[in-house]
Amino acid sequence: MSQQQTRATAAPSTRDGLRAGSIGTTGIVFMVVAATAPLTALASNLSLSLGSPAGVTTLGAIILVALLMWLFSVGYVSLSKDTSNAAASYAFVSLGLGRTTGAATAAGATVTYTLASGAMMCSSGYFLSLGLHMLAGVSIPWWALSALVWGAVAALGYADIGESRRVAVIIGCAEFAILGALAVAVAVRRPQGFTPDHALPDTFDVNGLAVALVYVTLCFGGFEAAAVYSEEAGSRRDVGRAVRRCLALLTGVYFIATWAVVAAFPDVHEAAQEPGTLVSRAASAFLGSWAGSLVGAMTAVSFTAAAITYHQTASRYLFAMGREGIFPRSWSRLNARRVPARAVTVQLACAAAVIALPALTGLDPLADLFPAVAGITSLALSTGFALLSLGAVVASLRGRLTDISRWRTVVAPGAAFTGFTVVAVLVIAHYDEVVGSDALAARVSPAVLLIASGYGVYAARRRTDRR
C-alpha cells in the first residue's frame, strides 16, 4: 500500500481522535434509525411510491433494495475491520481507489449531510407551524420554529454524543410504537387486506418499479453513516453489529408498515394520490382521530431527530476531513470533552444559511428547498454506495484487506456496485419524478454535488503536490 493510502486509512491517534467508548452498538443503531426517520420515510418516499405507477409493487421494491443493501453491507463491514475514521467514506474509498477518489466522495458526502441537516430543520419547523395552526389556531412562521430546532441541534452538537443518542432512542421508540400500533390495528380489523399478491404481483409496470427502487433507496439514506461513529465506538465490532441490526430492523419496519398501509385501503394506489396525508388517514381510520393528529406531530419530531443525526454526521466529516488536510485544519480542533466543537460551529453556520435562504427569499421550504436536497441526496447515495462497494473489491484484489473471503470482499460488493450503478442511472433517467418538482433549485442542485466532489479532487492533489 502506498504511503498516501496508509495516511488516508490509518486509524487516528488518541491525541487527535474523538473519544473512544462514547457510543455502543445500540446507540449507533438508533442514530442511524433517526437519520432514516422511518415514520417520515413512510409518510413521504414510500407513500409517493405507492401513488406512482409502481403502486403495491413498492413492497417488492423494498425486498429488492434490502437485498442490495445486504450485499453492500457485506463489503462495508469488511472495510470497517481495517480502518476507522469519522469520515468513513473517505477512508473506505481511499483504501481501494486512492486518496483523490476518496476525497471527492467524502466532500460530496459532507455537503449532502450538511444540506440534509438544514433541510430537516426547515421541514421540522414547517410541520410544527402547520400542526400548531391546526390544533391550537396559533400562527407562528415556520422559520421561527426552525430556528428553535436549530438551537436544540446546536445544544446537542456541543454536548457529548451520548446526549444525542438518548434523544434518538426516545424518538425512535416512539416512531416504532406508532407504526407497530397501526400495523396491529389493520391486521385485526382488516386482515383480508394482507395478501401475498401485494408483495409478488402477477404483473407490474417496469418504469414504475424503477422509480420505486429509487424511492426505497432514499429511505435507507443514513444507513451508511454507522461507520462515522467508529472512532467513538467501544470497538470496531460495534460498527459491524450495528450495520447488520440496522438493516434487519429497517427492512422489517419498512415492509410491515408499508404492507399495513396497503392493506388499510381497498385501493391504495388511488388513496396515495394524496401521499402527504396517506399515513395519517390510515391511522385515523384504524386507531382513531387522535392518531392522525399524533402522526402529524410525530412527523415534525421525526424530522428533528433526522436533523440532529445529520448534523452529527456532517460535523464529524468536517472534523475528520480537516484533520486530513482536505478542509481547513482548524476545523479538526476538539474541546476538552473531545467534541469536534469547531466543526460543529461550521456545520451550524451552514445549516443557518440553509434556513435563511427560503426564509429571506420567500421560497417554500417543502416545495422548493426539500426537492433540491432530495435530488442531491439521491445522487450522492447511489454513487456513494457504488464507489464504496467498488473500493472494497479493488482493496481486496490488491491485498489491502485482512478479510480473505472472496464472497465478502469481491462477489457481494461487486454485485452491490452493479446494483447501485443501475440505481444511479435510474435516478438520472427519472430525476424529475424523484424530486417531484420542476423548480429551478431542484434542477440545478446536482451541480452542488459536482462542485463539492471537484473541490475534493483539487484539495487532495494540492496536498499531494506539497509533500
Predicted confidence band at 221 (pLDDT cuts at 50, 70, 90)?
confident
Element (H, E) at 444: helix 440-444
Summarize pLDDT for 36-70 with one digit per residue, the tens. Answer: 989 989 988 899 889 888 888 899 999 999 999 99
Helix 446-466 and helix 99-136: axis angle, to 10°?
Answer: 140
> Residue 105 phi/psi, 5° resolution?
-65, -45
Predicted confidence band at 6 (pLDDT cuts at 50, 70, 90)?
very low
- Fold classification of 21-466 is Amino acid/polyamine transporter I (1.20.1740)
Summarize pLDDT for 70-124 with one digit per residue, the tens. Answer: 999 999 998 888 888 889 999 999 999 999 999 999 999 999 999 999 999 999 9
Amino acid in position 414: G
Nearest CA to 31 out of 184, 246, 286, 176 is that of 246
What are the cell numbers at 249? Answer: 430492523
Burial 88-112 (b: 16+ CB within 10 A, else e): bbbbbbbbbbbbbbbbbbbbbbbbb
Distances (CA, A) of 69 to 62, 77, 216: 10, 12, 11
**239: three-class secondary structure by DSSP:** helix
For the chain, which residues make up each domain, given as ranges?
A: 21-466
Q: Count Cβ atoms below 10 Å from residue 82 Cβ, excluding itself.
A: 17
H runs (alpha helix) in 324-411: 341-361, 370-397, 406
Nearest CA to 363 out of 310, 442, 300 is that of 442
What are the cell numbers at 197? Answer: 399478491
